[in-house]
A = this chain, B = another copy of it.
Amino acid sequence: MTDTILADLTVVEVSAFIAAPVGGMTLAQMGAEVIRIDPIGGNIDHGRWPLAPNGASLYWAGLNKGKRSICLALNTDQGREIAQALITQPGAGRGILLTNLPASGWMSHASLAARRQDLITLKLTGNHDGSGAIDYTVNCASGFPLATGTGGEPVNHVLPAWDIAAGLYLATGLLAAERARQRDGQGREVTLALSDVMLATVANLGYVADYQVNGAIRPPMGNDLYGAYGRDFPTHDDRRVMIAAISNRQWRAIGKATGLSEKLAMIGPMLEVDLAEEGGRFAARHAISAVLAPWFAKHTLAEIGAAFEGSGVLWGPYQDFGQLVTQDPRCSTANPIFATIDQPGIGRLLTPSVPLRFAGGACPPPLPAPRLGEHTDAVLAERLGLTMSAIGKLHDAGIVAGADGH
């Protein structure tokens, strides 16, 4: 795949769980060769739930698509020597390590840079002082769980949002560091703390400033939008929909599509707010909802969809994961990011590529995850030039392992 966007980039990943694997996968899905090194038998995430009936981890398969997998006895000097050799391979576009494991000892930047001076390492930690944290223990500190739901008790998000963002920061930082190395020949040690991703984001979104400037702490307000109009409504057939209006055009579209423009227009003078402004609509949101709710309660999801089709209303139905897979055409092969492919060890799965679409098809199609150790022999031969005989000896000595431990 020499014509893919990142065809000439090689990244070695020593990782577990979500964030670092998402970073590596994003690059692999744009054509980079991402070699994930695992200890023999797999890392701590290899059996993570959800599982297929045969015990294969659907989680691991989802987060390691498009990578090559090699298993090394990382508790032996010889296994570590092979890992170091792979990480510090000479050549442009190589010499890059991505990890969320404690990068000390043989995997420290200093130790690896002794073998390749212009090495780039990206290391994810929990906190900036190196202490441990995961998405859940970062999220509770963020302020969001206490602003989610209707108040009283904190509500955790289920999406591991900080892990996802951290993975994408790692991919961005890796490409930035490698771009700089092309210019100046310098290696770089880059660190990212999961809690810093949270802290920077909370500040970027204005929550820190809102407290510092206004002393304001955003309260929970259910599914209402803050600072604009939007919320969810139950439908006649017991579904739910979300609607939102940010622009005036979107706001007018709601009135027009529901036939309630005149009634909605009464709210402005009644509450002395300007409904031509986002903030006015936010202030009047309960009155607006009171006017709209009966309309949603009278119509089925299908009727609502028909009324909103082509209307310019921003809306969507709530769906559970099953409805998403079975009823949303965006979650099907009708969407160019998806294909149904064979995931070795699991079966036929609807599988996404990277969501970025490069005109001209310069990214690989949706790719499966490797079997654990699937590329052990190939990587040792292609990347380190080992002979079949040498590779066989490493297997015999338990220094390397192939597909699923064989």
Contact B161 A157 (CB under 8 A): yes
Could you say which residues of chain B place their CB within 8 Å of the CB of A222?
156
Could you say which residues of chain B place their CB within 8 Å of the CB of A197?
355
Q: A141 to B239: give the CA distance in the assembly, Å.
A: 12
Q: Which single member of B216, B232, B335 contacts A156 (CB below 8 Å)?
A: B232
Give the contact stretch, choosing among A242-250, A261-269, A289-297, A396-404.
Answer: A242-250
Chain A 127-160 per-residue mask, 1 if CB under 8 angstroms from chain B, else 0: 1100011101111111111111100011111111
Name the residue among A156, A171, A204, A343 with the largest chain B CB count within 10 angstroms: A204
Given contacts A50-B210, A351-B203, contact A144 B156 (CB under 8 A): no
Q: Which single member of B179, B316, B354 contacts A133 (CB below 8 Å)?
A: B316
Contact B50 A322 (CB under 8 A): no
Given contacts A143-B319, A321-B207, contact A357 B223 (CB under 8 A): no
Give the contact stretch, choosing among A75-83, A323-331, A375-383.
Answer: A323-331
Q: A314 to B239: give the CA distance in the assembly, Å.
A: 38
Name the residue among A215, A326, A359 with the largest chain B CB count within 10 angstroms: A359
Q: Does residue A106 face the partner (Cβ distance < 8 Å to B)? A: no
Contact A44 B140 (CB under 8 A): no
Name the residue among A49, A140, A165, A279 with the largest chain B CB count within 10 angstroms: A140
Q: How far is the CB of A54 from chain B (nearest CB, A)?
A: 10
Q: Does residue A356 face the partner (Cβ distance < 8 Å to B)? A: yes
Q: In the complex, given contacts A153-B240, A171-B172, what are 19 additional A-B residue pairs having Cβ atoms less than 8 angstroms apart? A: A5-B188, A6-B176, A9-B179, A49-B279, A49-B282, A62-B204, A127-B330, A134-B246, A137-B243, A137-B314, A140-B318, A141-B316, A148-B158, A157-B159, A168-B172, A175-B176, A178-B179, A202-B324, A218-B321
